[in-house]
Amino acid sequence: MARKITYQQAINEALDQEMSRDPSVIVMGEDNAGGEGSPGEMDAWGGVLGVTKGLYHKHPGRVLDTPISESAFIGAAIGAACNGLRPVAELMFVDFMGVCFDQIFNQAAKFRYMFGGKAETPVVIRTMYGAGFRAAAQHSQCLYSLFTHVPGLKVVVPSNPYDAKGLLIESIRDNDPVIFFENKVLYTMEGEVPEEIYTVPFGEAAILREGDDVTIVALGRMVNMAQEAAEALQKDGIHCEIIDPRTTSPLDEETILESVEKTGRLVVVDEANPRCSMASDIAGLVVRKAFGALKAPIEQVTAPHVPPPFSDVLEDLYVPNAAKIERAVTRVAEYR
């Protein structure tokens, strides 16, 4: 039985191991250690939820706490990446992208192309996303589709501890700007994670369950809900194939299309809002490239087109869940 650690520990271990292996890797963000200039303990937090805890003392001088100046430090991480470092900057909540987006989408994303292929920007921007903490409209969004829209960015959305570690190491070693999305609800999820260093490549979806009846493509936290739904559906004789793209840019189109060619039925599960989303993107892909295979209309299980609400009853209605996925799969499976 392999070692089990949490999603959060897996991310910490990936940072620790890559910092140990490669002196050009640095970490920066708001309170990534915590306590700078304050009278109490240093490394008081290790990030707002403790993900980077311990790195400050293990790697002296290479964990930089920043002022609350996202535009400045995210931009600085990008600049440092242009000059030989491999910074991992933390944008605490992805909702804060608004105060630094220019540096990401106009600067980092475009250097390579604008400069005629002569630039490399090996920066990683780690960021938390997702509902479930009753953290309301400005701390709960799933904005990966906005970043996926921008050419030049790679976008990673790990759904489990194993992938979180391997994809983060891959992100750090990758020579393009990578936006690494961490679901805050998944931080406590446990899973088998090798102690050794390993990578998980970009653009290769994981097939988490094989089945012939309905393809479910799910992202991030939704992958677990899809698995729960698929287990229940199997008792009704509906066999689902679950695909976790793992990265939305690049997107493993082939695995999705191959599966739909087999099943002819697709449900896309995405915690984000439905318009111009990964759900609509994947649905569009399948309509364009596997139209002939489709035996039923594609269903999307997403949050509604509203901001994340605060009250627990509303937030629970807002986020997709296994029951909603089951209903969508059943509709798709029964469509004739």
CA distance 330 to 334: 6
Cα 121 to Cα 82: distance, rounded to the nearest angstrom: 5
- Separation between Cα atoms, residue 67 and residue 198, nearest integer Å: 33
Single out the catalytic residue among 139, 149, 239, 305.
Answer: 139
- H or E segment and range at residue 146: helix 144-148
Task: Give the shortest CB-164-to-another protein separation in angstroms.
Answer: 14
Binding to another protein by residue 34, rule CB under 8 A?
yes
**Interface residues for another protein in 103-122 (CB under 8 A)?**
none
Neighbour tally for 307: CB within 10 Å: 14
Q: Which residues in 154-183 contact another protein (CB under 8 A)?
A: 162, 166
Q: Which two tokens stand for residue 162?
A: 């194993």
Distance between CA atoms of 13 and 335, rounded to whole angstroms?
A: 46
Nearest residue (CB) to another protein, 258 versus 299: 258
Q: Which is nearer to another protein, 112 or 191 (CB)?
A: 191
CB of 38 to another protein, least distance (A): 4
Q: Residue 139 catalytic?
A: yes
Distance in angstroms (rounded) separating the CA atoms of residues 250 and 91: 21
Question: Which of residues 151, 304, 323, 334 is near another protein by CB under 8 A?
Answer: 304
User: In this structure, how many other beta carbons lie within 10 angstroms of the beta carbon of residue 69?
Assistant: 13
Residue 22 makes contact with another protein by CB under 8 A: no
Q: How far is CA 330 from CA 41, 150, 247, 317, 334, in A?
A: 54, 35, 27, 20, 6
Show the tokens assigned to 117: 């292929």
User: Is residue 279 exposed (0-12), middle (13-18) or buried (19+ Cβ within 10 Å)?
Assistant: buried
Place of tokens 């390579």: 112
Can you tell me which of 20, 22, 41, 115 binds another protein, judged by CB under 8 A? 41
Q: What is the Cα–Cα distance from 164 to 197, expressed in whole angstroms?
A: 12
Six token digits for residue 148: 């996926």
For another protein, the binding residue among 306, 323, 334, 335 (CB under 8 A) is: 306
213 near another protein (CB under 8 A): no
> Is 312 a binder of another protein (CB under 8 A)?
yes
Whole-number minimum distance, CB 116 to another protein, in Å?
A: 30
Q: Does 76 bind another protein (CB under 8 A)?
A: no
Q: Which of residues 243-282 bind another protein (CB under 8 A)?
A: 254-255
Binding map of another protein across residues 182-211, x = CB under 8 A, - = no contact: ------------xxxxxxxx--x-xx-xx-
| CA-CA-CA-CA dihedral for 204, 209, 212, 214, to nearest 10 | -80
Total of residues contacting another protein (CB under 8 A): 67
Contact between 190 and 223 (Cβ < 8 Å): no
> What type of residue is 48?
V
Q: How far is the CB of 82 from another protein (least distance, A)?
A: 21
Buried/exposed code over 282-293 (b: 16+ C-beta within 10 A; e: otherwise): bbebbeeebeeb
Minimum CB separation of residue 43 from another protein in Å reads 9
Instruction: Output the smallest distance, CB 254 to another protein, in A.
Output: 8
Under rule CB under 8 A, residue 67 binds another protein: yes
Kindly tell me which residue out of 60, 84, 237, 292 binds another protein, with binding defined by CB under 8 A: 237
Residue 83 in contact with another protein, rule: CB under 8 A: no
Tell me: does residue 101 bind another protein (CB under 8 A).
no
Q: Which residues bind another protein (CB under 8 A)?
A: 1, 30-31, 34-42, 44-45, 48, 65-72, 95-96, 98-99, 133-139, 162, 166, 194-201, 204, 206-207, 209-210, 231, 234-235, 237, 254-255, 304-307, 309-314, 317-318
- Catalytically active residues, by annotation: 139
